[in-house]
Chains A and B, each alone.
Chain A
């Protein structure tokens, strides 16, 4: 009996120690996984004398579901532009006080005044990239430059697509010459049929494994984001990446502050801290994604700078479209995609 009492007391002590509330000011951050050099968090804590609670989420949809439900107290969220657009339209974000973020001036103008946050009130760009195709130069012949490669029957069973409705449908829509934000039902229908036609050629619809699979030569061709492509090319020099000539998707991840954040000003200070040239360079070194920082870009290592995945041509950028939040029309994409994968 005594043994049990001791055990229970120990447990209670253990539990209580776990949920002690700190007296320090705490900054709660919610971010993608492995998307920041964690040394920066420690340095921020030391420089500003605060505590940082850092939490990660697998997908923006997971994040949105949690934040939308309420009861979370994140001060800062870093996520994709289409999600930020949705959160703005649902009044979930605070307007940022840019007086607290002088480093904002170094953010490339190309990434400001975008449709998802047209007046630059709610977000600060963090990293950006494109959607494209990575392929193994030893298996794939010639110099592919089009979306058609994903439908090439010569490589049947060696093609990877994404288990992501927007991205996969985008490839089909762009191949057909439509906008990847279209709400035209017949255009979406065409894209859907194209994807269904493609299905026998597809090895798998992957979520995150494209990176490992391309490095392992497991597949010959994959739809992929530029950031992953850079990492893959870094480990396997047989790989090459291109943005199809028909046009593709450009995406931005940005920082935003949710409504009713406890420490709005501290969050803004953090954004400023992370967007300094020095810290941006350190982040790039860790994340290897394309940077929005004009000054930092000049000092990026050569092997990154020369990589078309990291540094696409302006022409390609101009031709790229950003995903817009489609609101209720998303349903058209959902239904189309469900039909493709359940087929």
Chain B
């Protein structure tokens, strides 16, 4: 376009420096210093906080968090992509309405909706009451990893659907028609035309779901019954209860690094520069 346009981003870059980078720098400082309640003069730099992480307990927590978040993200993708696609096919007059209806549940407070799920999934909850009514055995739906995954999918699905929807929405129909005319079957059309064109949206969706999923704490706390904590719970405890901000900061930095590495891997796998997410 225009070489001058890139300056449009400069005001935001100042904002980022103040409100994103500087606080991040603070966190970084915490992560490399030791807890010292009083004097600023006696700062010692150390990697001790990072070393603390290399404990099987914490590593387990991190692995568990990443796997559950990844699983939830993939499920969101499989459920959400068809939804996004179908939404684009709806006639113009109802499209807007359906989209807003889709996001409307998210305007109800997350804690309330998670409590509602507990009412639905609990042993004396709606589903199990229904099962008992039919004289079927009860299923343990709550306080396990499955409930946490359900909660994550429920809460983050719209974040997957929307970017994909916007990517698919103004897609050039003529491309599909052309492929069809050239003899491609539906699956090939999807694989070679539709999916690649929607890729930027897909990647946005993956980012918008996986990131918060890794660091969320309300969902695992309530739906997981606190039995298998995730890294978000750990960090929250460290900052509030244990008051070990240094270790908490170190853990946050570790998550950051891991996520940046996974983005890099994603990028390498997807050589198409056009969709460049980062790194």
Point out residues on A near B: beta carbons under 8 Å: 59, 61-62, 65, 163, 165, 199, 202-207, 209, 213, 216-218, 330-331, 334, 338-339, 341-343
Contacts and interface: CB of A to CB of B under 8 A. Distances in A.
Given A203-B225, A206-B225, A342-B60, 20 more contacts: A61-B241, A65-B240, A65-B243, A199-B227, A204-B142, A204-B143, A207-B226, A209-B115, A209-B222, A218-B122, A218-B124, A330-B242, A331-B242, A331-B244, A334-B244, A338-B237, A339-B57, A341-B226, A342-B58, A342-B228
Nearest to A343: B57
Contacts of A207: 221, 226
B169 interface: no
Interface of B: 57-58, 60-61, 115, 118, 122-125, 142-143, 221-222, 225-229, 234, 237, 239-244
A331 B124 CA distance: 38
Contacts of A62: 240
Contact of B226 (A206, A217, A334): A206
Nearest to A90: B37
Given A61-B241, A65-B239, A207-B221, A163 B57 contact: no
A7 to B, nearest CB: 20
B221 A163 contact: yes
Contacts of A203: 143, 225
Contacts of B226: 163, 204-207, 341
B143 A341 contact: no
Contacts of A216: 122, 124
B227 A202 contact: yes
Given A204-B226, A209-B118, A218-B122, A342 B61 contact: yes
Contacts of B60: 342
Contacts of B243: 65
8 contacts: A204-B142, A207-B221, A218-B122, A330-B242, A331-B244, A334-B237, A341-B226, A342-B60
Contacts of A205: 225-227
A163 B229 CA distance: 11
Nearest to A166: B241
A77 B198 CA distance: 53
A333 to B, nearest CB: 9
Nearest to A59: B240
Nearest to A164: B241
A142 to B, nearest CB: 23
Contacts of B57: 338-339, 342-343
A334 B227 contact: no
A320 B237 CA distance: 27
B225 A204 contact: yes
A343 to B, nearest CB: 8
A106 B228 CA distance: 47
Contacts of A341: 226-227, 229
Contacts of B58: 342
B275 to A, nearest CB: 33
B225 A61 contact: no
Contacts of A338: 57, 234, 237
Nearest to B140: A157
Contacts of B240: 59, 61-62, 65
Point out which of A61, A163, A205, A342 has the most chain B C-beta atoms below 10 A from its C-beta: A342
A61 B122 CA distance: 29
Contacts of A213: 122
- For the complex of A and B, the 7 pairs showing the least CB-CB separation, nearest first, are A204-B225, A205-B226, A61-B240, A163-B226, A334-B242, A204-B143, A342-B57
Contacts of A334: 237, 241-242, 244
Contacts of B237: 334, 338
Nearest to B224: A204
Nearest to A342: B57
Contacts of A331: 242, 244
Contacts of A330: 242
A226 B225 CA distance: 22
A84 B142 CA distance: 36
Contacts of B227: 199, 202, 204-205, 341
A341 B234 CA distance: 10
A66 to B, nearest CB: 10
Nearest to A62: B240
Nearest to A160: B225
Nearest to B60: A342
Nearest to A157: B140
A193 to B, nearest CB: 15
A216 to B, nearest CB: 5
Contacts of B125: 218
Contacts of A61: 240-241
A216 B124 CA distance: 7
B35 to A, nearest CB: 9
A217 B129 CA distance: 12
Given A205-B227, A207-B221, A342-B60, A217 B143 contact: no
Nearest to A162: B226
A61 B123 CA distance: 32
Which of A204, A213, A331 neighbours the largest number of chain B CB atoms within 10 Å of its CB? A204
A199 B143 CA distance: 13
B150 to A, nearest CB: 16
A163 to B, nearest CB: 4
A61 B237 CA distance: 9
B123 A218 contact: yes
Nearest to B64: A342
A65 B240 CA distance: 7
A82 to B, nearest CB: 12
